[in-house]
Each structure stands twice: as C-alpha cells, then as structure tokens.
C-alpha cells in the first residue's frame, strides 16, 4: 500500500516547530516544575555589602524556626575546588579563588554567605532573614576608573592594581601610520553594564543518592556537560556518577552559560542533608547572582587618508570583570579584540584590552559576548570618520570593506567568506534612502526630528577548531557531538550535544535528517540536555549550534547513509557504487524498480544476518565534529528613529535587518532569532542599564528598575537575507543567534545622533540623556 509521506520539511523549509506542542499546552517541564520526594527548598543568604569581612554568622534563630531542616555555611559544606573559570587568554590571567560559599570576605553585594533548607519555600525564605551575619565593611571599588586610580581599594589584596589581565595585539607600523594620516578621529564609547534577562530565572534541583553515591542534578543551563564535569571536580564525586539534565530551559542569553556557585552548593547540601535540594532564583536575586554583561569602555582612534581610507586603528578597551571570574569572563573582551577591525581592511592595529576587578557582580557572556561591544565601537567611530572626511556613512564603509576572502585579520583569525557590499546594497535597496529627506520633512512638520543610522557588521560564531580554542586560552575545545540512530522500524533518534533553550533545535535537526536520509521530519525524535543519554556535548552558546552541532548531525547521518548503502547493495545483489540514494531509498542506477528503503535496510541491520563482509549490525553512528575554522556571519542594519526635541524621547520608526548567515536550515526560525536579537539591543540602546551606587549597592535590583522593554516600547523588525555559504562546514551554515544583538546598537545610536546632530550619546538613550545631549552637548 502506498502511503503518502510528507518530505517537504528538509533543509530550507520554514517547518513549524515540533517543540511547540508541549510549550503551548502547559506540558513543558521547566526547572521549577520538578519535584522530588522529600525535597528541601534552598534559600541563599547573600551579602548586603559590596566588600566586607565576615566576622560571625549566628544561625541559631534560623535553625529554631519550625520547619527548617538545616542552615549551612562555608564551614559545613566541603568543596574540592571553587567556582571555575575555564578561560585564560594570555596564560597570565589572575584567577582569584572563589569558594561557592564565601569564606572570610565578600566582594560583591549578593555573594552567597549561607543557605537555609526547609521543606516549605516560604519557611526557608523566613529563616534566611533570621540568619545573623556580622560584617566589618571595607571600602568598595565601583567602576573601572575608580579601580585603576592610584590608591584604589583592592578587590583582591594579592592584586595590587586591580588588574586581572592585559591582552595586546600590536602591528609594527602603527605610529608611522598615525604620523602619515590626513585625518585622525578619536572617540570613547561606553558600553553599559546589562543583564542577560531570561524570563525564567535560574534554578537547580540536586539529588545526591547516598546508597550509590550518585549525583543527579537538574539545572536550567545552556551547558549540561560542563556542569557535570565541574560538579564532579568541585564536589569530589566520580564524573561517571553524575547525571545532569537541562529540562526545558526558559531562555539563556548567556546567563545560563556558566557553572554557578548555587549548583555546587545545592549538590553539597543535598549530600549533607540526605535529601534532594531545590533552589529557584528570585528575580531580584537574579540581578545580583547571575552574571552581568557588557561593562566595557572603548577608547578608539582611527587614522585615515583624506579619502577616508583607514591606515590604522588604535582601540584600547577597558573591561569591568567584576569581583571574580566566572566560566568565560576573561574571554569576553578577548572576543572584542578579535573582531575589533569589523568589516574593514585595516593595515595597522594597536589593540589592547585591560580587564579590571571591581566589587560588582562578575561579567561574562551576554548575548553577543564581546562582539556587540566591538561592533558598537568600530561602527560609531566609522560614522565619526565619515563626518570628518565629509563623505556619507555608506561611502566610508565601502572605501574600507574587506573584499577578498578568506581574509586574515591582524588579530590572527581568518574571515571565511563574505560580501559586505551585497548586504549594504540590499539594505539600501529596501530602506528607501531616496525618500528619507521627505520623511524627515514630514517628521519635522509634526515637531519631530528624524534620523537614520546604519551598522555594517561581521561577527564570529562557532568557536573552533579546538586547536584555536586552546591557543586562545579556553579550557574546553570547540567541537560538537551527534548520534543518529535508525530504529528497526525506520524511525530515528538524534542525540545532540547542543542544549537549546528556545532555538528550535529539535525542529532544525529533524530537517537536516530529512534532507540527508529522506526520513520524514515527523519520524525524527531529538534528545538533548541529558548527560545520561548524550555523548559529551559542549552545549549552546556563541551562535555555534548549527555550524558545529548541525554539521555533526549532517556527518553522522552521512555515515549512516554510507553504511546503509553497503547493506542495501548486498540486499539487492548490486555494487554499492551502482546505487543512487533518493527520497529515502537506494535504487540501482538504470533499474528504478529495484529499490530498498532506509527502513528495510535498518530492519536488516537490526536482524543482523547476511550482512556484507566486514559490516557490523545496527545503524547507529556517533560523530565528534571539530570544524576547521570559526564562521563569520555579516550584514547591514538600518534604523530610522524620531526624537521628540522637548523631551528627548526616542521612537524607532523603521528597522531593517539584512543578515547573511550562510545557508539557512529554517528561515522562520532564523527570522525569529534576528527579531529577538535586534530587540535585545533595542533594550540596551534605549532602556537598559545596571546601576550601582558608589558603595556598590545595586540600584537596579528588579524589573521595576531595570527596564526590559515591552511590546509597546519596540519596533517591528523587517528581516531580509543574502546567502553566502560558509566554506567552513559542508552545510554552508554560519549562525544567527546573536547577529541582531551585535548589529543593532550602532544603528540605533547612529540614527538618534543623526536626528539630533549630536556626535555621540552614551547608551541607554533615555529621554533625559538625549535631551541633555541636545541642550548641553553629548559624549566625547
């Protein structure tokens, strides 16, 4: 009987997501939905001070409260190691010890000091308020300028200048280039401190099973295998006895790309208590317990000839790393340095990153991770160069675009492929620059100032190969794993090392399988996020999943197909070379009626009899794929924004995004990533910012004070694409999760500056700041 098989959802189709069913009917399982018998709720007692010596902890009253199971401090829980940092770009990074629970000193407001455990979460919360911690308050150092000043208080006594690391990259002819320049533009850009801001806060459920000494941990994480490895190290348990499960994860944006103190504390507490322990982060807690992002100043200088052709770039970045180093902290500004040159062919560079300790929450990867900062700095400085030379902002970019690929940069990486004119041309074509003056006049008739900004960006995805990740000081490699398993009935299980949290991997990976094996999308199940099932996987971050993890699936499927071809040939008594594979079946060339479907092959491979010589039973292949290079997506974003001159209020009236992320697996998902990425940076450009007072108290400690934009606050995003395949992987894909975020701030600030005639304004462009810039002058 012929059965209609839907094979229309391969690579390139906007297949509707298979993840949606559970998420849309309340059947999803997020971290706070997990309940284990006998589970205790953990509440963390945190330092109220930015810098202090702990002189005593009295937990008597907390312990006496009815329903409290235990109160633990650093003296009660044993750890074999501290909170890990897996990044050391120069080999010279100062990596301070960081015990999961503070010992002796606290170095930021919010640092964990003690925990309370109770069966009832309200009781645990009450008891936390009864833990009396005595402190001798020390002077705090807030902001990089204060930290680098002579005589500044020291965040760590052993580091007398508060400097964590200095990374430099200088070519030989910089001074000569500046001396020979017709034009030099200078600009300082402040990339304010922000938060990742996933709507689901973090959480962990740890269960130390005493009878077998096994540790099972559910965590809302982007990196379950890393969490497993570091739980094993930190909690001194065999890694083979640790199982980490990332359940449905409610957004990450870098905030869950880490191994956090609370994960180790919950595991150790579960062992000590003899019961499962659950910790769910409260939002106000999240603001002081989950990493922050950005917090980088860029001091930019461009030397150019009279035509606007760049001769040299001097970029000195000062990165606020906060009080301690989280998993990748030192690498974030290193990524800024790598991509400092942007889309431009720059002969000489003097690049320097200075990373500085302060008494604040550690910074680490926040959507874009170093590349939004780099893009904002170079793009805003290109605008300044255009103004100085007296040419358009488009033209200054065209005069400097890289046009030959592969392109080795001065920072030691090689842009794989690109066509920067193409995305700029497309953005101009769809955004009607010719009609701009008419729109500006129309806005003026309404008392509004209209401006236009653009950003041409290139970014880095898929940190790999492992030789490079090692060379740049990252402990883990850059590869990814995949298993493709064909069951006897012809259905498929894919096990991926990626760890999606909204990216739709189950859908996209199923599409890759449909294209590679001709097995329908609906017959594919994707397993992720459980270390008990999956070969080691590096997880989801840095827009790496499709380029590395997707390619691993493509390769594993290819191996399955190669093996199936041998079995099919044997079954049809033909030579493997005489078979062609199409629509999920092998056919003998020239004899289209002789065919064997993948399902029949899988069944025979499972039966195991009469297989070709040297072919083992089963159709089950695992691949570890280590790409030969990063991928380098690029694009051009154009923003038009109106400013209300009496108030300084900004409204984005049009936003056009042209992105080139190579070949596309699912256009709808790619568009969705761009929408979200752009709006993340609309948040940074217009609304968001972490603010500390001079004593290190966080003033933006809830969503009342830290403004995540809502639907009325942001524009629609028009998405367009060009496709320049990556030569780095056989799928020709690049990555798109962060591109919007990387591109957007420069286009938005550029539009507001164009509207107001102010050279630059520090983000966020809140009304008062714009009004003051218009009336009192903008940023330097």
Partner 1 sequence: MMRAVTVTVNGVSHTTGVEPRTLLVHLLREQLNLTGTQVGCDTSNCGACTVWIDGDAVKACTVLAVQADGREVTTFEGISDGVSMHPMQQAFHEQHGLQCGYCTPGMVMTAIKLLEANPHPTDEEIRHGLEGNLCRCTGYHNIVAAIRSAAEGVPA
Pairing of strands 132-137, 492-496: unpaired
Member of 130, 208, 248, 549 binding partner 1 (CB under 8 A) = 248
Integer CA distances (angstroms), 82 to 85, 86, 155, 201, in order: 9, 12, 18, 23
- Record the tokens describing residue 145, joined without a space: 């300028």
Member of 84, 342, 451, 677 binding partner 1 (CB under 8 A) = 677
* Residue nearer to partner 1 on the CB measure, 601 or 669: 669
Check: CB of residue 96 under 8 Å from CB of residue 355: no
Give yes or no for residue 537 binding partner 1 (CB under 8 A). no
DSSP reduced 3-state for 173: coil
Member of 8, 647, 716, 775 binding partner 1 (CB under 8 A) = 716
**Window 179-198: contact mask with partner 1 (x via CB under 8 A):** ------------------xx
Member of 48, 153, 173, 251 binding partner 1 (CB under 8 A) = 251
**Among 81-89, 335-343, 497-505, 585-593, the segment contacting partner 1 (CB under 8 A):** 497-505
Which DSSP string corresponds to 739-775?
HHHHHHHHHHHHHHHHHH--S--PSS--HHHHHHHHH
Residue 252 CB, nearest approach to partner 1 (Å): 8
Q: How far apart are CA 306 and CA 388, in angstroms?
A: 9
* Residue nearer to partner 1 on the CB measure, 156 or 283: 283
Residue 686 CB, nearest approach to partner 1 (Å): 13
Sign of CA dihedral 711, 712, 718, 723: negative
Residue 744 CB, nearest approach to partner 1 (Å): 10
* Residue nearer to partner 1 on the CB measure, 26 or 56: 26
Integer CA distances (angstroms), 377 to 253, 542, 583, 746, 760, in order: 21, 20, 49, 8, 11
**Among 67-75, 432-440, 540-548, 697-705, the segment contacting partner 1 (CB under 8 A):** 697-705
Of 32-51, which residues contact partner 1 (CB under 8 A)?
A: 32-33
Residue 521 CB, nearest approach to partner 1 (Å): 15
**DSSP collapsed to 3 states, 62-128:** HHHCCCEEEEEECCCCCCCCCCCCCECCCCCCCCCCCCCCCCCEECCCCCEEEEEEECCHHHHHHHH
Q: How far apart are CA 582 and CA 584, in angstroms?
A: 5
**Window 7-26: contact mask with partner 1 (x via CB under 8 A):** ---------xx-xxxxxxxx
Residue 595 CB, nearest approach to partner 1 (Å): 36
Of 276-315, which residues contact partner 1 (CB under 8 A)?
A: 282-284
Residue 500 CB, nearest approach to partner 1 (Å): 9
Residue 652, phi then psi, degrees to nearest 5: -80, 120
Residue 708 CB, nearest approach to partner 1 (Å): 5
Residue 676 CB, nearest approach to partner 1 (Å): 5
- Record the tokens describing residue 744, joined without a space: 């957007």
Residue 26 CB, nearest approach to partner 1 (Å): 2
Give yes or no for residue 217 binding partner 1 (CB under 8 A). no
Give yes or no for residue 200 binding partner 1 (CB under 8 A). yes
Helix pair 551-571, 598-607: axis angle to 10 deg: 80
Q: How far apart are CA 354 and CA 359, in angstroms?
A: 17
Residue 198 CB, nearest approach to partner 1 (Å): 6
Give yes or no for residue 702 binding partner 1 (CB under 8 A). yes
* Residue nearer to partner 1 on the CB measure, 109 or 280: 280
* Residue nearer to partner 1 on the CB measure, 232 or 652: 652
Residue in the block written with tokens 């994960």: 263
Phi/psi region, residue 153 (left: phi>0; alpha: psi -120 to 50; beta: rest), is: beta
Member of 124, 165, 215, 249 binding partner 1 (CB under 8 A) = 249
Which DSSP string corresponds to 435-474?
GHHHHHHHHHHTT-EEEEEEEEEE--BS---HHHHHHTTB
Strand partners, 582: 585
- Record the tokens describing residue 548, joined without a space: 């590395």
Sign of CA dihedral 547, 550, 554, 556: positive
Give yes or no for residue 738 binding partner 1 (CB under 8 A). no
Residue 45 CB, nearest approach to partner 1 (Å): 18
* Residue nearer to partner 1 on the CB measure, 27 or 238: 27
Alpha carbon 286 to chain centroid, angstroms: 17
Member of 218, 485, 501, 555 binding partner 1 (CB under 8 A) = 501
Burial of 772 per CB tally in 10 Å (0-12, 13-18, 19+): middle
* Residue nearer to partner 1 on the CB measure, 222 or 726: 222
Member of 669, 751, 753, 763 binding partner 1 (CB under 8 A) = 669
Integer CA distances (angstroms), 275 to 42, 192, 242, 531, in order: 12, 42, 16, 22
Give yes or no for residue 30 binding partner 1 (CB under 8 A). yes
Give yes or no for residue 201 binding partner 1 (CB under 8 A). yes
Number of residues that bind partner 1 (CB under 8 A): 57
Helix pair 505-517, 551-571: axis angle to 10 deg: 30
Give yes or no for residue 66 binding partner 1 (CB under 8 A). no
**Among 181-189, 205-213, 488-496, 676-684, the segment contacting partner 1 (CB under 8 A):** 676-684
* Residue nearer to partner 1 on the CB measure, 26 or 104: 26
Residues of this chain that bind partner 1 (CB under 8 A): 16-17, 19-30, 32-33, 121-122, 197-201, 248-251, 253, 282-284, 501-504, 668-669, 671-672, 675-680, 682, 702-704, 708, 710-712, 714, 716-717, 740
């Amino acid at each position: 009987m012929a059965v209609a098989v839907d094979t229309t959802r391969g690579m390139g189709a906007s297949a509707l997501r298979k993840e949606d069913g559970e998420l849309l009917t309340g059947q999803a399982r997020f971290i706070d939905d997990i309940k284990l018998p006998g589970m205790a709720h953990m509440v963390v007692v945190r330092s109220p001070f930015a810098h202090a010596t702990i002189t005593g902890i009295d937990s008597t009253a907390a312990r006496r409260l009815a329903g409290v199971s235990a109160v633990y401090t650093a003296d009660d829980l044993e750890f074999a190691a501290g909170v890990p940092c897996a990044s050391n770009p120069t080999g010279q990074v100062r990596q301070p010890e960081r015990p999961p629970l503070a010992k002796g000193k606290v170095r930021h407001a919010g640092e964990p000091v003690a925990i309370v455990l109770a069966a009832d979460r309200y009781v645990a919360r009450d008891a936390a308020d009864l833990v009396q911690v005595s402190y001798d308050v020390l002077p705090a150092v807030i902001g990089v300028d204060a930290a680098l000043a002579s005589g500044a208080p020291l965040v760590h006594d052993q580091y007398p200048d508060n400097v964590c690391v200095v990374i430099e990259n200088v070519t030989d002819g910089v001074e000569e280039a500046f001396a020979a320049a017709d034009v030099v533009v200078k600009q300082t850009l402040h990339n304010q401190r922000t938060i990742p801001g996933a709507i689901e806060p973090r959480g962990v459920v740890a269960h130390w099973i005493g009878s077998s000494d096994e540790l099972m941990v559910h965590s809302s994480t982007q990196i379950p295998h890393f969490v497993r490895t570091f739980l094993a190290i930190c909690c001194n348990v065999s890694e083979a006895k640790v199982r980490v499960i990332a359940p449905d994860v409610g957004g990450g944006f870098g905030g869950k790309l880490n191994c956090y103190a609370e994960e180790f504390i919950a595991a150790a507490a579960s062992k000590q208590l003899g019961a499962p322990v659950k910790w769910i982060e409260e939002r106000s807690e999240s603001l002081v317990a989950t990493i922050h992002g950005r917090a980088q100043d860029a001091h930019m200088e461009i030397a150019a000839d009279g035509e606007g052709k760049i001769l040299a770039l001097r970029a000195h970045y000062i990165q606020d790393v906060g009080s301690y180093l989280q998993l990748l902290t030192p690498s974030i500004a290193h990524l800024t340095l790598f991509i400092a040159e942007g889309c431009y062919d720059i002969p000489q560079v003097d690049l320097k990153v200075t990373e500085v300790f302060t008494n604040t929450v550690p910074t680490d990867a926040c959507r874009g991770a170093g590349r939004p900062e780099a893009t904002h700095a170079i793009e805003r400085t290109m605008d300044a160069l255009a103004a100085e030379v007296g040419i358009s902002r488009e033209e200054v970019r065209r005069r400097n675009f890289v046009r030959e690929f592969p392109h080795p940069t001065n920072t030691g990486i090689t842009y794989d492929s690109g066509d920067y004119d193409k995305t700029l041309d497309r953005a101009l074509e769809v955004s009607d620059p010719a009609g701009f003056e008419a729109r500006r006049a129309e806005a003026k008739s309404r008392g509004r100032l209209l401006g236009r900004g653009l950003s041409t960006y290139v970014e880095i995805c898929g940190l790999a190969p492992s030789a490079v990740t090692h060379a740049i000081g990252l402990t883990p490699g850059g590869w990814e794993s995949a298993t493709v398993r064909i069951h006897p009935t012809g259905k498929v299980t894919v096990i991926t090392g990626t760890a999606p949290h909204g990216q739709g991997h189950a859908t996209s990976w199923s599409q890759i399988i449909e294209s590679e094996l001709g097995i329908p999308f609906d017959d594919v199940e994707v397993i992720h996020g459980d270390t008990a099932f999956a070969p080691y996987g590096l997880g989801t971050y840095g827009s790496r999943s499709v380029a590395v993890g997707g390619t691993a699936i493509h390769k594993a499927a290819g191996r399955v197909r190669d093996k199936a071809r041998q079995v099919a040939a044997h079954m049809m008594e033909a030579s493997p070379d005489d078979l062609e594979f199409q629509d999920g079946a092998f056919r003998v060339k020239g004899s289209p009626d002789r065919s064997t479907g993948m399902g029949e092959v899988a069944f025979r491979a499972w039966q195991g009899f009469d297989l070709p010589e040297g072919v083992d039973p089963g159709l089950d292949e695992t691949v570890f794929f280590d790409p030969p290079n990063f991928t380098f997506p690029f694009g051009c974003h154009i923003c038009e924004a109106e400013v209300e001159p009496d108030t300084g209020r900004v409204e984005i009236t049009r936003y056009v995004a042209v992105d080139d992320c190579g070949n596309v697996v699912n256009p709808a998902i790619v568009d969705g990533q761009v929408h979200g990425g752009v709006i993340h940076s609309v948040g940074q450009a217009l609304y968001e910012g972490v603010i500390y007072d001079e004593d290190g108290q966080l003033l933006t400690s809830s969503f009342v004070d830290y403004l995540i934009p809502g639907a009325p606050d942001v524009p629609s995003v028009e998405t367009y694409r060009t496709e320049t395949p990556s030569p780095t992987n056989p799928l020709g894909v690049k990555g798109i999760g962060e591109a919007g975020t990387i591109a957007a701030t420069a286009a938005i600030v550029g539009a507001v500056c164009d509207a107001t005639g102010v050279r630059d304004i520090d983000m966020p462009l809140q009304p008062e700041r714009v009004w003051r810039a218009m009336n009192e002058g903008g940023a330097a």
